[in-house]
A and B are shown apart, each in its own frame.
Chain A
Amino acid sequence: QVHLVQSASEVERPGASVKIFCETSGYSFTGHTLNWVRQAPGQGLEWMGLINTNTGNPTYGPAFSGRTVFSVDTSVATAYLQILNLRVDDSAVYYCATASFDHWGDGTVVTVSS
């Protein structure tokens, strides 16, 4: 059975960085890409991009190129999302989802506040 377990919530100051994880199980981690999706408070879903879990090669959506870093650790079947130089408007729920979006993590709430 496929499971995606995400980090607990994070609270950070503006200008800091955050790195959240998505630990997977139940399927071949390196056989499929993994997506990241953002949902700001009260807003809709935004595709941030994906990472090729075999090569580690990321693809970022245009709105997320620059301060967003995707990475993987294949030894523990885990993907990571790092956001640099946080801004207040980065406050959101961040989801990981499998390549075909058929399985999602529970989401990680990131709150950026001074």
Chain B
Amino acid sequence: VVMTQSPLSLSVPLGQPASISCRSARSLVDTNGDISLTWFHQRPGQSPRRLFYKFSNRDSGVPDRFSARGSDSDFTLKISRVEAEDVGVYYCMQGAHWPFTFGQGTKLEV
């Protein structure tokens, strides 16, 4: 399943909002009836960190300026007010169909 992110790069002033789109070629409703879309953030030189699972469930420790929404095959990650620590690459990943696939990544510069 091809995952298409846009934009591929984003430069946002501190304190301004940012939005990343992730689109799937197929519905991401899995066999359990859940929407299996995960968002990750990878800072330079670090391992990826999960931000959201099942498309909108925020992980512990993720600031509430991050939000995620979507439906079926169209998803969005939003940052209400970008901070310096938000730099890096954001990936979406689908886990509804094997093989799991990642989007190309969106590089955020602040």
Residues of chain A whose beta carbon lies under 8 Å from any beta carbon of chain B:
35, 37, 44-47, 49, 59, 61-63, 95, 97, 100-102, 104-107
B residues neighboring A (CB under 8 Å): 38, 40, 42, 47-50, 53, 59, 89, 91, 93, 98-105
| Pair B99/A61 contact, Cβ less than 8 Å | yes
B residues near A106, Cβ cutoff 8 Å = 47
Complexed CA–CA distance, A46 and B104 (Å): 10
Given contacts A45-B93, A106-B47, contact A101 B102 (CB under 8 A): no
Whether the pair A107, B102 counts as a contact (CB closer than 8 A) is: no
Contact across chains for A62 and B99 when beta carbons are under 8 A apart: yes
- Kindly state the separation between the CA atoms of A61 and B100 in the bound complex, as whole angstroms: 8
Are B93 and A101 within 8 A (Cβ)? yes
Q: Which residue of A has the minimal Cβ distance to B54?
A: A100
A44 near B49 with CB under 8 A, answer no
- B41 smallest CB distance to A (angstroms): 12
